[in-house]
Amino acid sequence: MAREMLKIANLQAWYGESHILHGVEFAVHEGEVVTLLGRNGAGRTTTLRAIMGLVGSRTGSVLINGVEAVGLAPHRIARLGLGYCPEERGIFAALSTEENLLLPPRLKGAGGMQLEEIYDIFPNLLERAASPGTRLSGGEQQMLAVARVLRTGARLLLLDEISEGLAPVIVQKLGEVIRTLRQKGFTVVLVEQNFRFAAPLADRFYVMEHGKIVKQFARSELASQAGLLQEFLGV
Amino acid sequence: MTTVFGVPLPAILGQLMLGLVNGSFYALLSLGLAVIFGLLGVVNFAHGAFYMLGAFAAYIGLQFLGINYWWALLLAPLTVGLLGVLIERLFLRHLYQVEPVYGLLLTFGIALIAEGIMRSLFGASGKSYPVPPLLQGVLNLGFMILPIYRAWVVMASVTVCGLTWFLIERTRLGARLRAATENARLVQAFGINVPVMVMCTYGAGVALAALAGVLAAPVIQVSPLMGSSLVIVVFAVVVIGGMGSIVGAIVSGLVLGLIEGLTKVVYPEASSIVVFVIMALVLIWRPAGLFGKEP
C-alpha cells in the first residue's frame, strides 16, 4: 500500500465554545481519492478547516507527509503541500479571474501546473481572465476555485462540496477534472453531499456523524452498503 | 486685473494652490489610513502623530545630525515606519480579534504619548524647517506666482499616491493585499504569510504619514500638535472617500483640499468646516462614501 499522505488521529475542534469535532480519525494514502460523507452539520467541512488550521482551536494529531500540522499557522500548513478549496469557494471580488488564479504562491520545488495547462482544462477561465472574480457564473467560480489550487504544486487537495448547486453539465466537467487529477497522481479529499457525484470518483468513503467518523468502506463495498447509506445520509 | 466674484484671479489661484498643497497631505495621510483600515480593521488614530514624528525626524536630522532634506525624505519614513512595525508587533496585533474600539483607543493613546514626549523634548512652539536650496524661489507663470516648493509638494504627493495605487491595484503583491482585505484567513490558507503582510502594511501606511510630515516641514511650523489638528480633517476625508477605498482616499484628499482653498476665497469663515459639512452630506446620501462599496 502507498504511504499515508494524511493521517488524522483523535482530532478535536472548537469554534469558540462549541465543540464540533470529537476525535476524528482517518488516513488518506498517496494517490487516493477519499470522500467524506455525512449529513449537514456532521462535521465534514469543519474537518477540512481543522486540517488547514482555520478553526478556533484544535487538539489531536494531523500528520501531513509525516509532519505534525496541529500547532502550525495556516500558511505553514499550506506549504506542506496542501491545496484547499473552501465550501464558499472563496473567490475574491476585488481580484480579476487571473489574479484569483495566481493568488496562491507556488510551493518551493513542487512544480505545479502551468497556466496554459490550467487554461486547457478550463478554457472558460481564459476567456474571462480579466473579469472580476465574482462576476463569473457559479460554475465558473467553482472551476476557478479548483484551478487555483492546481497551480501551486500542492499534491494533497481538500475540496469542499465542489458540486454543490451547479448545473449537471458543470458537475460532469468537475467529475472529469477529478479523474484527470487522480491519473496525474494527486491525492484528493472530497467533502460531498452529492453521493452520485462522489460514488464513481472515490476509492474509499468515510461516513461522519456528530463530529466523528462512524463508518468506512471501499468503493467495491458500495453496493452492500446501500442500506447503511440510507440510514446515515437519507439517500 | 481679472477678477472672479470680485476677487483677483491671482489670489484665487494662490489659494487653490495652497488648497492643493493641503490636499496633498490629506491624500497621503488618508491613503495610509484607508489601507490600514482595509487590511487591519483598525482606525489608526495615531496617524497624525506619525505625520508629526515624520516632520520632527526631518527637523532633528537637520539640526543635530546634519541630515539634509533629501535624505530626510528617505530616512524619516523609514525610521517612523519601523516604529509602526514595532507597535504593530508589540501591541496592535493582539487587538484584531476584539472589538475595533480597542484598536482605536490604543492608537489614540499612542498619539497622546508621542505628542507628550515631543512636547517635553522640544516645547509646544513651532520650529521652522528651511526650504531646501534646490526648491527655493518662485516661478512666475504670468497669471500667477508659483512657489517652487509648493509645486514640488503637490508633484511628489501625486507621484507617491499614484505609485501606491499602482502597487495595490496592479501588482501581484497588491492582489494579495486586496485579497487579504476581503478574507485574510483564506489567503493565509493559500500559504501566504498574512501576519507579516499585515505588519508591513501598517509600517508602510505609517511611513506614508511620515513622508507627508517631511514634505510639510518646510511649509508649516513643525510642532508636537501639528498632527492632531490635521488628522481630524483626514478622518473626514477618509469617510467621504469611503473607508478602505484607495482611489477614494487619494481623489477626495486632493479635491477636498481644493474645495477648502476655494472656500477661503469665497467665504473664509466656512473654510474650516466645509470638509465636515461635505462629510455630513455624504453620510446622508451615500453612507459608504463616494468611492466605497455600498454594503
Question: Looking at the 3D structure of chain B, how many domains does it have?
Answer: 1
CB contact under 8 A, A103 and B189: no
Q: Place B141 in a pLDDT band, splitting at 50, 70 and 90.
A: confident
Gap from A208 CA to chain B (nearest CA, Å): 24
Alpha helices in chain A (DSSP H): 44-52, 74-78, 97-102, 115-121, 123-127, 138-150, 168-183, 195-198, 226-233
Distance from CA of A235 to the nearest CA of B (A): 32
Residue B180's closest chain A neighbor by CA? A92
H-run or E-run covering B209: helix B194-216
Report chain B residues whose CB lies below 8 A from the CB of A53. 189
As a whole number of angstroms, the distance between CA A57 and CA A138 comes to 31
pLDDT at B31: 94
Asked whether the beta carbons of A68 and A58 are under 8 A apart, the reply is: no
The residues of B whose Cβ lies within 8 A of any Cβ of A are: 172, 175-176, 178-179, 181-183, 185-195
| Residues of A whose CB is below 8 A from B186 | 54, 86, 90
In B, minimum Cα distance to A79 occurs at: B191
Q: What is the mean pLDDT of each run of 10 residues along chain A (235 residues)?
A: 88 92 94 92 94 93 94 94 93 93 87 87 90 90 92 93 90 92 93 87 92 90 77 67
Q: Quick one: pLDDT at residue B294?
A: 65
What would the pLDDT profile of B26-76 be if each residue is shown by its tens digit? Answer: 999 999 999 999 888 889 999 999 999 999 999 999 999 999 999 999 999
Average pLDDT over residues B232-246: 89
Q: How far is B23 from chain A (nearest CA, A)?
A: 27
Spatial separation of the C-alpha atoms in residues B63 and B78, rounded to whole Å = 19
Q: How much is the pLDDT for A186?
A: 93
CA distance B76 to B82: 10
Range of the domain at B38: 3-285
Instruction: Report, as an integer, the average pLDDT of B197-203.
Output: 96
CA distance linking residue B73 with residue B53, whole number of Å: 13
Chain B neighbors of A152, CB-CB under 8 A: 190-191
On chain B, the residues whose CB falls within 8 A of the CB of A104 are 190-192
Is B291 part of a structural domain of the chain? no
Q: Could you tell me if residue B290 is inside a domain?
A: no
Per-residue pLDDT tens digits for B83-109: 999 999 999 999 988 888 999 999 999
CA distance B75 to A105: 32
SS3 B147: strand
Beta-carbon separation of B189 and A152 below 8 A: no
Residues from A contacting B (CB-CB < 8 Å) are 52-54, 73-75, 77-79, 84, 86, 90, 92-95, 99-100, 102-105, 107, 148, 152
Q: Answer whether residue B186 is part of any domain.
A: yes
d(CA B194, CA A55) in angstroms, rounded, equals 16
Q: Is residue B293 domain-resident? A: no
**Do the chains contact at B190 and A103, CB–CB below 8 Å?**
yes
Q: What is the per-residue pLDDT for A235? A: 54
CB count in 10 Å sphere of residue B138: 13
pLDDT of residue B98: 87
What is the residue extent of each domain of chain A?
A: 4-233
| Cell numbers representing residue B21 in the block | 498643497
- Would you give the DSSP letter of residue B269? G
Q: Closest Cα partner for B17 from B293, B262, B284? A: B262
Cα separation of B37 and B46, whole Å? 13
Across the interface, whether the CB atoms of B195 and A105 are under 8 A apart is answered: no
> Would you say residue B292 lies in a domain?
no
> Is it the case that residue B143 has pLDDT exceeding 70?
yes
C-alpha cell belonging to residue B62 = 537637520
Test B189 with A78 for CB contact under 8 angstroms. Answer: yes
Residue B178: closest CA among chain A residues belongs to which residue?
A94
Question: Is position B269 within any domain?
Answer: yes
Helix or strand (DSSP H, E) at B146: strand B145-147
Confidence at residue B268, expressed as pLDDT on a 0 to 100 scale: 86
**Minimal C-alpha gap between B192 and chain A (Å):** 5
CATH architecture of A4-233: 3-Layer(aba) Sandwich (3.40)
- Using CA atoms, how far residue A205 sits from A165, B128, B174, B210, in Å, is 22, 75, 41, 58
Q: What's chain A's length in residues?
A: 235
A230: distance to nearest CA of chain B, Å?
34
Query: What is the rounded CA–CA span in Å between residue A176 and residue A197?
Result: 11
- Specify the pairing of strand A204-209 against strand A33-38: parallel
The CATH number assigned to the domain holding B278 equals: 1.10.3470
Q: Which residues of A touch B175 (CB under 8 A)?
A: 95, 99, 102-103
3-state secondary structure A4-42: EEEEEEEEEEEECCEEEEEEEEEEEECCCEEEEEECCCC
Return the H-helix or E-strand segment holding A213. strand A212-218
Side chain identity at A32, as an amino acid letter? E
Q: Is residue B295, in this structure, part of any structural domain at all?
A: no
Nearest chain B alpha carbon to A152: B190
Set of chain A residues whose Cβ sits within 8 Å of the Cβ of B189: 52-54, 74-75, 77-78, 84, 86
Predicted pLDDT at A22: 94
Instruction: Give me A187's grid cell.
Output: 491525492
The pLDDT of residue B265: 87
pLDDT of residue A1: 59
Report the b/e string of B30-62 with b at 16+ CB within 10 A.
Answer: bbbbbbbbbbbebbbbbbbbbbbbbbbbbbbbb
| Contacting residues of B for A92, CB less than 8 Å apart | 178-179, 182-183
Say whether the ipTM exceeds 0.95: no
Is residue B118's pLDDT more than 80? Answer: yes
Whether B271 is covered by a domain: the verdict is yes
Confidence of residue B295 (pLDDT cuts 50, 70, 90): low
Distance CA B189, CA B191 (A): 5
Q: Which of B172, B190, B194, B198 is the best substitution to test chain A (most A C-beta atoms within 10 A)?
A: B190
> Which of B218, B202, B203 lies closest to B78, judged by CA?
B203
The burial of A25, by beta-carbon neighbours within 10 Å (0-12 exposed, 13-18 middle, 19 or more buried), is given as middle
Query: CA nearest A43: which of A63, A68, A25?
Result: A25
- A92 contacts B190? CB cut-off 8 A: no
B193 vs A75: CB contact, 8 Å cut-off? Answer: yes
Cβ contact B176–A78 (<8 Å): no
